[in-house]
Structure 1
């Protein structure tokens, strides 16, 4: 029998997701005081939708979201991706925790991403990388500056290390939960609008 290499998409089409890919509780932010997204649980309609008996194929449950990861050169963007949905857009602005200049460039990167985005209200994350290279006292000073910038950008702040993997999974679980919940809510709202319009016709 010839060997057939399965694509990443085919590998995703399973009745049950691997345990390490399941989100059983809504992930919280890195810093509760530095996020514009104060949702700490899934929407009730999301719970109802997920609890309904699904008669469709597993593929129909895919909720895709485009995630844009931007930032200066050598701040760790590729490492973040390697460590680890299409109307919802997530913008992850990455900066180097060891480089104040890269933090100051975050506003420019975000502006460019927003100007090329068709989404009117994307989820925005300001992510400081290379956490493993900072001493505790140095990080505290940078964190204060980063959180101030995040609040000005209306972004949720995270500090991660691609080298050690610290906070990487938590960051992507948080993104997945926020976007999935929003996707289900908007999908059901759109369906209700269509049904109402049909009845009027």
Structure 2
């Protein structure tokens, strides 16, 4: 069992645990149900990490918010991943809970901030204030309760309204252990259709037995890291282009010719 530590201590460790070391992009749960193509990190990301050509120093951080109806298993999902524990008698989350998990991705230190939000309507106004700045949104539903699946578009809409840039979106069905194979296949068809409508990547998990939990969060960490570093690479390239343009502009100026022109104008004014 993983030792439970504070968020600060997790961020300060010199090296992430072995199961938090990522050197290859984890695959999606279903290749047919993801809008995020690519089987590995982008070439510019790998190159930047190898050459240490990154803009910002220190730990990189991505923010993940987990949304969904009350009792769909959001807190169980987070606690299974962060603390390797399962308790089916969790009390309803009030406002938000916060966890941090440390990764090393392509040998670069990286933190995944996980915000577990309340599903009860009376706490929604509190939780929604934490939606801003999300790099990924996880909309969870209960595989045994299709009503919770129908509520997912509204949860995602609230999250997208709070963010000017669209985050990565994941649709996650929980409590897979409670369904037979035949019953699950029926639900999966509806869930994958919903995922396509939401432009989200679909996963099914079980917090009770740990099914797909680690792989799912590793996938989130790797994808958000990929997007973040790729953006940094574009910023580096843009600054170089702007700088080169300014240098070229200065070189095309002719200060001597400009001085002679100003002298002629001054003489013409004095002679008139």
Shorter-chain-normalised TM-score: which range?
0.7 to 0.9
Distance change in 2, residues 1:97/1:54 (3 Å)? same
**Partners of 2:207 and 2:213 within 8 A in 1:** yes
Distance 2:8 2:191 in 1: 36
- Quote the residue 1:63 is aligned against: 60
Corresponding position of 1:36: 35
How many corresponding residue pairs?
A: 193
What's the offset of the Cα at 1:47? 1.2
Does structure 2 retain, via aligned residues, the 8 Å contact 1:27–1:173? Answer: yes
The two structures have a TM-score, normalised by structure 1, of 0.88
Q: Distance in 2 between matches of 1:98 and 1:55?
A: 45
The answer to whether the 8 A contact 1:65-1:87 is kept is no
TM-score (normalised: structure 2): 0.66
Structure 2 distance, partners of 1:93, 1:146, is: 12
Aligned partners of 2:169 and 2:53: how far apart in 1? Answer: 32
Residue matched to 2:20: 21
- C-alpha distance after superposition, 1:13-44 (max 9, x if no partner): 34432211101321000000011111210111
Cα offsets for 1:164-201 (capped at 9, x unmatched): 11101010011111111111110111122123223334
CA distance in 1, matches of 2:146, 2:40: 34
Task: Output the CA distance in 2 between the equivalents of 1:48 and 1:87.
Answer: 27
Secondary structure of 1:200's aligned partner: helix
Aligned mate of 2:143, from 75, 90, 97: 97
Distance 2:148 2:66 in 1: 14
Instruction: Determine the C-alpha separation between the residues in 2 that align with 1:99 and 1:129.
Output: 10
Q: Given the alignment, which residue of 152, 166, 188 partners 1:143?
A: 188
| 189-198 or 43-52, which deviates more | 189-198
Q: Which residue number corresponds to residue 110 of structure 1?
A: 156
CA-atom RMSD in angstroms: 2.3
- Paired residue for 1:74? 71
User: Contact conserved, 1:158 with 1:171, CA < 8 A, in 2?
Assistant: yes
Equivalent residue in structure 2 for 1:156, among 190, 198, 201: 201
In the alignment, structure 2 segments of 5+ residues that lack a partner are 82-111, 113-131, 247-272
Find the structure with the greater CA-based Rg. Answer: 2
